[in-house]
Amino acid sequence: MDFNKDTAKKTAELLLQIKAIKLSPKEPFTWASGWKSPIYCDNRITLSYPPVRNFLKQEIAKLVEEKHGKPDVIAGVATGAIAIGILVAQELGVPFVYVRPEPKKHGRQNQIEGHIESGQNVVVIEDLISTGKSSLNAVKALKEAHANVKGMVAIFSYGFSIASENFKADGVELTTLSNYEYLLEQALDSKYITSEELRTLEDWRIEPSKWKQNEN
């Protein structure tokens, strides 16, 4: 994946500044999956900072057009990417829909909320890529609705190999503003972390499901 280095590092810096990304090598977080992790990312925090959300909106919209041309529809993945997806759709002047993890149990039992037509070109917006499973579930729902999914653009990716494998297997092009490597580079440059903490963070990424803080 090609990156604009300036954009990737600025994105990382902004996420660190507002604590949308927190790095804590000495006191790891516990993810919902049970993984122990020295990093936690919650990009919904960006919505509370107008300069940050405007930067993300503009850069994602630019990336969408550069990679895929102007789509007919922007689709956000619920729930984390609904708001940023709406902002991007507004920036591009195109319709917006969002995709639930599964169809509703009541009413019209929609999985896709909003109006979309068969054959329309869609770019999916995501806030964070870990394994890619939930993101690709949204792509599957759009394809089942006969949309032409051009690709996915996200704010940040951990860069796990399993995610790359999943996107490749499903034939979906993923582009992100920044990723784990640029985050660590920026965190070290800005002195959010020490060289020793950098090694811990690099070790975690090798095999995150088995990483233990007391081994580092």
Residue 215 belongs to a domain? no
For the segment 136-167, what is each residue's pLDDT rounded down to a tens digit? 999 999 999 999 999 999 999 999 999 999 99
Calpha distance 158→205 (Å, rounded): 8
Domain that holds residue 156: 5-206
Residues 6+ apart with CB under 8 A from 5: 182
Annotated binding site: 100, 104, 106, 126-134
For the segment 52-108, what is each residue's pLDDT rounded down to a tens digit? 999 999 999 999 999 999 999 999 999 999 999 999 999 999 999 999 998 876 766
Residue 54 belongs to a domain? yes
pLDDT at 215: 46
pLDDT over 80 at 2, yes or no: no
Query: Residue 21 has which token pair?
Result: 């990304």
What CATH number has the domain bearing residue 141?
Answer: 3.40.50.2020
Q: What is the dihedral of CA 156, 162, 165, 168, to 10 degrees?
A: -30
User: Average pLDDT of 205-211?
Assistant: 87
pLDDT at 32: 82
Residue 188 belongs to a domain? yes
pLDDT over 60 at 199, yes or no: yes
Residue type, 136: L
Calpha distance 81→124 (Å, rounded): 9
Give the strand order in the sheet containing 174-179.
112-113, 96-99, 73-77, 121-129, 148-157, 174-179
Annotated binding site for 5-phospho-alpha-D-ribose 1-diphosphate: 100, 104, 106, 126-134
Residue 214 belongs to a domain? no
Confidence of residue 216 (pLDDT cuts 50, 70, 90): very low
Name residue, tokens 């122990």.
Answer: 36
Residue 212 belongs to a domain? no
Residue 140 belongs to a domain? yes
For the segment 93-120, what is each residue's pLDDT rounded down to a tens digit? 999 999 999 887 676 678 999 999 999 9
Confidence of residue 34 (pLDDT cuts 50, 70, 90): confident
87 and 57 in contact (C-beta within 8 Å)?
Answer: yes
User: Average pLDDT of 183-210?
Assistant: 93
Mean pLDDT rounded to a whole number for the chain: 94
Residue 216 belongs to a domain? no
79 and 135 in contact (C-beta within 8 Å)?
Answer: no
Give the E-state strand segments of the chain in sequence order: 21-23, 29-30, 36-37, 39-41, 73-77, 96-99, 112-113, 121-129, 148-157, 174-179
Residue 182 belongs to a domain? yes
Q: How many domains does the chain have?
A: 1
How far is CA 26 from its chain centroid? 25
Query: Residue 204 has which token pair?
Result: 């975690």
| High-pLDDT (> 90) share of the chain, % | 85
Annotated binding site for orotate: 130
